[in-house]
Amino acid sequence: MSTKVPQNTEDQEIDLAQISKKIGNFFDRVSTSIFKSIQFFVKNWVTVVILIVVGFGTGFLLESYKKSYQHQIIVAPNFGSTDYLYSKIELIDAKIKEGDTLFLKNIVGIQNPDNLKKIEIEPIADVYNFINNKPENFELIKLMAEDGDIKKVLQENITSKNYTYQTIVLTTKNKTSEEKLVKPFLKYFNASDYYSKIQKESYENIQLKMRKNDTIIKQIDGLLDNFSKSTNSGAKNDKLVYYNENTQLNDIIKTKETLINEQAIHKIELIAYDKIIKESSITTNIEYEKITEKYLKFILPVLFVLLFIFYRSFIKFYRRQNSLLGN
């Protein structure tokens, strides 16, 4: 009859003792590190306090200096002038980066060009208006989305440039007024001989369409009036077109309704078409700060203290190694 040899209990006790010893050593090291950290700050508390005060003060001053203001102009580029607007903004942004204040002051008309930090343009994504009653735009988006993400397609430059509204964002160092900043830019954007001619022709074409539509609507009203009179009196007139079916009368009424809707759309178009780049909303002096700039008064004190700790640790390490080498 075989017997099982029991597991050596002494080995288990040795393993548990080693584990307990390692755990004890770990906590001892942690306690020693905490004590040394406290001892370091106690010995250098004056320096640490000075660094915190200096860091807070420097951060506060930098926040005040780096504070900037944004000004947003929502515009609708008319007559296919979106690319023209984008090119103008790219030109102005390049001049800002170059520090060409003469261009900004004499050509654009900005009174205080040194105050201007940046200009950019962002499309207002309105895909529903983009494809509304425009089957070709819907088919274009479908075609482009076959090889990629639809969200990415809608944000791509080729698509976003064709949205009705665009937001021009101006960033300045200090507060300013609409008269000093926004109006000169809008005047500059609308100073185009080529698009001014297109604007004039487009405006006159719409007015011509409206006059024609008014004439047709009057003719339809006269036709309907004569039809109503003939129906009520029962009299027959050889000069009057007689309708045997109500569907023909319905077609005429629908045509009139379509023309009235067209007239309403044209009236709105005339309001927007008085400028090449038509502004719809202007917001000025929005205080703007980056996250890193907003909390500088808290970031810098911590950074200064960490650099001081690193410096002292480096000096201590250098001296230790120097002594080991016998120098």
The continuous run of DSSP H or E covering 147 comes out as none
Half-sphere exposure (CA, 13 Å, Cβ side) for 188?
20
Residues 171 and 319 reside in one and the same domain: no
Q: 77: alpha, beta or left, given left = phi > 0 and alpha = psi -120 to 50?
A: beta
Residues 169 and 280 reside in one and the same domain: yes
Number of domains in the chain: 3
Residues 117 and 248 reside in one and the same domain: no
* pLDDT for 182: 92
Domain enclosing residue 175, as ranges: 68-192+276-292
Nearest to 56 by CA among 220, 281, 298, 307: 298
Residues 84 and 163 reside in one and the same domain: yes
* pLDDT for 243: 44
* pLDDT for 2: 47
Q: Confirm whether 165 is domain-assigned.
A: yes
Residues 262 and 309 reside in one and the same domain: no
Q: Confirm whether 117 is domain-assigned.
A: yes
- At 258 the three-state DSSP class reads helix
* pLDDT for 38: 78
Strands 68-77 and 166-172: antiparallel
CA distance 91 to 284: 22
Would the pTM count as exceeding 0.85?
no
CA distance 228 to 184: 58
* pLDDT for 303: 85
Q: Confirm whether 127 is domain-assigned.
A: yes
Count CB neighbours of 215 within 10 A: 10
Torsion angles phi and psi, residue 264, rounded to 5: -65, -40
* pLDDT for 239: 47
Residues 285 and 145 reside in one and the same domain: yes
Residues of the chain with pLDDT under 70: 1-17, 20-21, 24, 28, 63-66, 126-160, 230-247, 289-294, 326-327
